[in-house]
């Protein structure tokens, strides 16, 4: 006999889009959702491209459950793309990548919550109950505690900003750090020099840097050490490169 709580209709989830490239995990997640919301329509996509096609085909999810490590995205750009496509739909990120910097970057970009892939089903049910009521959820170990004014916190802030860069902006960043002039960057990326200048202006604004040299120093510092609260080297690489 099941003992799931009855969810009021106003808070019910009627459709969910699961974006994850691991079939075993997405199937298990779909099964768990069917237990919590028996009448919900659940659709699965194994890449960002597939998820966008599902939306193009008319699927309108009440909730998106989104993995970060997809075959056709870099960093959190896939999440940013999905959020831009569904600005009013809650997106819960479920990832094996764990770090305070990564979680904060996602929340800054509009995520409704973050949970790790080993979250128990009972805990996930409570998280979903909060999210459908318009609340945000971040595990205690990834929450910010008070004003962030320490050097480690400042480093985290830089990493948040780096994580939100587009793939093209990340390429520009690497070339800036290599000391390449705008003309050379334009040549290597096959862009107009004016486009490169626009990218750099946007980067300086995002990082709060006054010039290219200051931006390069900030980025190199972010790559030189693991930020505070970073649990996995893979998360650091995923966030900063």
43 contacts 54 by C-beta, under 8 angstroms: yes
Q: What is the pLDDT of residues 44-80, one digit of tens each?
A: 999 999 999 999 999 999 999 999 889 998 778 899 9
Which of 207 and 61 is assigned the larger pLDDT? 61
73: left (phi over 0), alpha (psi -120 to 50) or beta: beta
Query: Residue 4: pLDDT band by 50, 70, 90 thresholds?
Result: very low
d(C-alpha 168, C-alpha 146), whole Å: 34
Residue 147 in this model has a pLDDT that exceeds 70: no
Predicted confidence at residue 75, as pLDDT, reads: 76
103 contacts 142 by C-beta, under 8 angstroms: yes
Q: List % helix, strand, coil for the chain (3-state, nearest 5).
A: 55, 10, 35
Residue 229 in this model has a pLDDT that exceeds 70: no
Q: What is the pLDDT of residues 149-178, one digit of tens each?
A: 344 555 566 777 777 777 888 888 888 877
């Amino acid at each position: 006999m099941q003992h799931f709580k009855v969810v009021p209709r106003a808070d019910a989830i009627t459709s969910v889009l699961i974006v994850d490239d691991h079939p075993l995990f997405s199937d298990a997640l779909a099964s768990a959702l069917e237990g919590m919301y028996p009448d919900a329509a659940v659709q699965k996509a194994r890449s960002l491209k597939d998820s966008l096609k599902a939306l193009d085909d008319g699927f309108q999810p009440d909730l998106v459950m989104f993995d970060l490590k997809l075959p056709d995205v870099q960093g959190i750009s896939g999440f940013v793309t999905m959020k831009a496509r569904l600005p009013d739909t809650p997106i819960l990120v479920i990832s094996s990548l764990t770090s305070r910097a990564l979680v904060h970057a996602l929340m800054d970009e509009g995520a409704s919550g973050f949970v790790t892939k080993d979250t128990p089903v009972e805990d996930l049910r409570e998280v979903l109950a909060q999210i459908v009521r318009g609340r945000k959820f971040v595990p205690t170990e990834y929450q910010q505690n008070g004003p962030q004014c320490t050097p480690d916190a400042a480093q985290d802030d830089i990493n948040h900003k780096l994580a939100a860069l587009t793939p093209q902006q990340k390429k520009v960043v690497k070339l800036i750090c290599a000391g390449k002039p705008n003309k050379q960057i334009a040549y290597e990326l096959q862009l107009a020099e004016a486009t490169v200048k626009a990218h750099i202006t946007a980067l300086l604004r995002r990082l709060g840097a006054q010039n290219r040299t200051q931006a390069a120093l900030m980025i190199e510092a972010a790559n030189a050490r693991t930020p505070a609260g970073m649990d996995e080297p893979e998360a650091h690489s995923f966030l900063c490169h």
